[in-house]
Structure 1
């Protein structure tokens, strides 16, 4: 992993491989490690960039109130610093917000978008869920983890991996940046890009979990319906976390197929 000062904070990243560039942007409370299951394979055929959002993983933060625009500007400046002129961007949840915002503000950078489990605007339903997340993180990472997991994995997976998830929760609690997570939650409040999505001309895939009760299919259809010629792919038996074991090969195939069509 490598670190670089971007917008007066330290951004942690990994840049590997050669060829067309794929940039991955993780979701709330995650880190670049989320994408390893994909990037370790894809780096054999493409240049892959994975990085930690500010206040997440090993990236630092400042004392400003974080917004989606802040995350987007960090990404833009990181790309400039790495001399990456354009790329295909893959973003999950909060990361999806970031790459949509980048596509609106810096369209010249975007050769294609793969948006997973994201939302184009913050509505009343999401506000209630975000309020629950915000209240939970104030009580600590364990409370936050227990609050988000029913949105993340289906009941069968929660039961099947119960002991492992307990271990992950308590291990992650040792290093979690609670303030960074809270800022990430608050960045979603007031976010609304729906009216600007029609400005995006890059090829776009929206990948949704068929059982996602956080960013529901109706929410994700707002993305695909407002971006010209975009495609919605629904993965069954999947909630908010797209990269569950049974989906990995399918997602890799989707990305490879998408990349083969990018000039």
Structure 2
């Protein structure tokens, strides 16, 4: 499924034909394809929409810098084009920041919300830190970035026990456009949605890996504390890509989405 917007074409990996829509928003420098195992699990329970962020995967991009607000507007455009709101929305890492912004600014589009390993704000030094990461993203060969990424993404036991899944995610990373990766880094550096956290009205589940040092647990604790009624789960022996590392969580997500209206 493709959605045309003023900045270009947004590509959506669409699976499932019945049930409430489920929008999946991916991490930095990956694509909607990263959600394939999750999409298969939910395909008989929901209409699954896994969006490629602008410049990532098969989505086009006009080359201009963009913000997390822009990515949230893209997500809203997809739900509107699919006539798919309100949807259950899951965001992981960059996708969690996007999902948070979507839920705060377009509450009518979000039924239930899962924020995994995300944040509303990366700290007072975020702009220079993420500018440096953007520089590395665009000047270092992509295969030379993988050691740094693997260690952040997955805990050591998962790396050892699930090499095929690790390789699948690495292949998606290698295919990601370096310029779009850099632009997304700058978008995250400019993120400050702290004032919006309290605007989230959807029932919310906040997840974070205990060993996540990309978005440490205290960032998720701040999200959960600021969202009325939010539930926080800290996941033992888990790092940054928690929802890929922990498929045992997927049934509990299905139960959360099926909860009281």
Are the structure 2 counterparts of residues 127 and 158 from structure 1 closer, same or farther at C-alpha, using a change threshold of 3 Å?
farther
Q: Does the Cα contact within 8 Å between 1:6 and 1:78 map onto a contact in 2?
A: no
What corresponds to 2:152 in structure 1? 151
| Offset of residue 127 of structure 1 | 5.5
Give the alignment's TM-score, normalised by structure 1.
Answer: 0.90
Are the structure 2 counterparts of residues 53 and 213 from structure 1 closer, same or farther at C-alpha, using a change threshold of 3 Å?
same
Are the structure 2 counterparts of residues 187 and 262 from structure 1 closer, same or farther at C-alpha, using a change threshold of 3 Å?
farther
| Offset of residue 125 of structure 1 | 6.3
Are the structure 2 counterparts of residues 41 and 66 from structure 1 closer, same or farther at C-alpha, using a change threshold of 3 Å?
same
Give the alignment's TM-score, normalised by structure 2.
Answer: 0.90
CA distance in 2, matches of 1:170, 1:260: 33
Q: How many residues align?
A: 259
Gaps of at least 5 residues in structure 1 are none
Are the structure 2 counterparts of residues 125 and 42 from structure 1 closer, same or farther at C-alpha, using a change threshold of 3 Å?
same
| Offset of residue 194 of structure 1 | 1.3
CA distance in 2, matches of 1:196, 1:27: 21
Equivalent residue runs for 1:231-242 within 5 Å:
231-242=231-242
Q: Does the Cα contact within 8 Å between 2:119 and 2:215 map onto a contact in 1?
A: yes
What corresponds to 1:23 in structure 2? 23
What corresponds to 2:104 in structure 1? 104
What corresponds to 1:10 in structure 2? 9
CA distance in 1, matches of 2:234, 2:212: 10
SS in 2 for 1:89: strand
Are the structure 2 counterparts of residues 116 and 168 from structure 1 closer, same or farther at C-alpha, using a change threshold of 3 Å?
closer
What corresponds to 1:259 in structure 2? 257
| Offset of residue 40 of structure 1 | 0.9
Q: Does the Cα contact within 8 Å between 1:136 and 1:143 map onto a contact in 2?
A: no
SS in 2 for 1:30: coil
Q: Does the Cα contact within 8 Å between 1:7 and 1:77 map onto a contact in 2?
A: no
CA distance in 2, matches of 1:224, 1:132: 29
Q: Does the Cα contact within 8 Å between 1:32 and 1:57 map onto a contact in 2?
A: yes
CA distance in 1, matches of 2:127, 2:147: 18
